[in-house]
């Protein structure tokens, strides 16, 4: 059983100016801007701080790093900067419920209940289960959704990767440093990954690309031993012996907790473009969980800065309203 320890700076008996739900690029940027504006800021993440960006092997399209930067390095710098301005960050703490409709926002966690005047939702996305036979049975027994987390466990082994978008290719490049070989399944005819990533993956010697295929089944004996793959053009089903399956087929927003918030049909949170405010007063959204056309670290950073600025303005209006009524 995991024992959670309350960080020294974090208290449940205070009213924060803003609580930020999520410690990825958007959440940490919002924390930098909010805390630097002297707002009492708390960041809560049920996962490790850094978000999906911290699991990326090399980031080449974030400005300021002409030779690229690793995800863990970049996110560590984001966190250090937020904490420099006295933002309080707690991670790996399950968030059980939220109540965002009142003047005070309530966030209930395994550590206790926290209150704030405003909320920024920056909960990001996660890799989605694809629902094939054997996926649930062998989860943690050869089925993984994180190359950065689990690649060393498959050193010298043969694996299948499902998903040919940018995230899937980046994770595959991470895997290739450890595994014997990779079969990349579901590489779409119309590529969604950038040309630079595509060129790099095609240069690798120990990778097989199965274009226009889909995963039908994962099977094994206590752990994964193989998969069944269907060719979508011919209908042929192939049996491939592998030791692991990494699934990076699609991403889904972490928005289920926010029942009162308006979302699009895919579950992404809707917000006003100018301020990133949601349909609830004092509640803002930033990063990959927001409904928008591009989800990158650069856009998440912009969202985080804008949401924090909007919160500052909102709190100023609250104070002005309080003064006018007194």
Catalytic positions are 146, 149-150
Range list of β-strands (E), 176-273: 181-187, 207-211, 213-221, 223-231, 237-241, 244-247, 251-253
Report whether 49 contacts 75 (CB < 8 A): yes
- How far is Cα 298 from Cα 308, in angstroms, rounded to an integer? 16
Contacting residues for 210 by C-beta, under 8 A, at least 6 apart? 183, 184, 185, 186, 187, 229, 231
Of 126, 110, 141, 142, nearest to 44 by C-alpha is 110
What 8-state DSSP symbol labels residue 268? P
- How far is Cα 30 from Cα 301, in angstroms, rounded to an integer? 8
Rg (CA), the chain: 21
Tell me which H or E stretch contains 116.
strand 112-121
- How far is Cα 204 from Cα 184, in angstroms, rounded to an integer? 12
Give SS3 for 166.
helix
């Amino acid at each position: 059983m995991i024992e959670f320890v309350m960080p020294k700076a974090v208290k449940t008996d205070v009213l924060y100016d803003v609580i930020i739900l999520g410690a990825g690029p958007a959440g940490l940027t919002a924390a930098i801007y909010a805390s630097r504006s002297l707002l009492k800021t708390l960041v809560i993440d049920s996962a490790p701080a850094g978000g999906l960006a911290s699991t990326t092997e090399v980031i080449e399209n974030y400005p300021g790093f002409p030779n690229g930067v690793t995800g863990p390095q970049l996110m560590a710098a984001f966190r250090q900067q937020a904490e420099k301005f006295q933002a309080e960050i707690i991670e790996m703490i399950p968030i059980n419920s939220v109540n965002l409709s009142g003047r005070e926002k309530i966030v209930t966690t395994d550590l206790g209940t926290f209150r704030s005047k405003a909320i920024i939702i920056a909960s990001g996305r996660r890799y989605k289960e694809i629902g094939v036979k054997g996926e649930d049975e062998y989860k943690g027994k050869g089925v993984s959704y994180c190359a950065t987390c689990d690649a060393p466990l498959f050193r010298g082994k043969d694996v299948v990767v499902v998903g040919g978008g940018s995230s899937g290719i980046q994770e595959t490049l991470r895997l290739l440093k450890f595994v014997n070989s990779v079969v990349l399944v579901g590489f779409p005819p119309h590529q969604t990954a950038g040309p630079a990533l595509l060129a790099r993956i095609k240069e690798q010697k120990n990778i097989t690309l199965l274009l226009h295929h889909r995963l039908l089944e994962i099977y094994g004996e206590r752990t994964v031993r193989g998969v069944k793959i269907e060719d979508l053009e011919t209908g042929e089903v192939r049996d491939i012996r592998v030791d692991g399956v990494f699934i990076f087929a699609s991403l889904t927003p972490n928005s289920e907790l926010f029942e009162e918030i308006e979302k699009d049909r895919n579950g992404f949170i809707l917000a006003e473009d100018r301020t990133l405010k949601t349909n609830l007063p004092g509640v803002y959204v930033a990063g990959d969980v927001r409904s928008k056309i591009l989800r990158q670290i650069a856009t998440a950073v912009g969202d985080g800065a804008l949401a924090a600025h909007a919160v500052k303005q909102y709190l100023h209006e609250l104070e002005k309203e309080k003064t006018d009524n007194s």
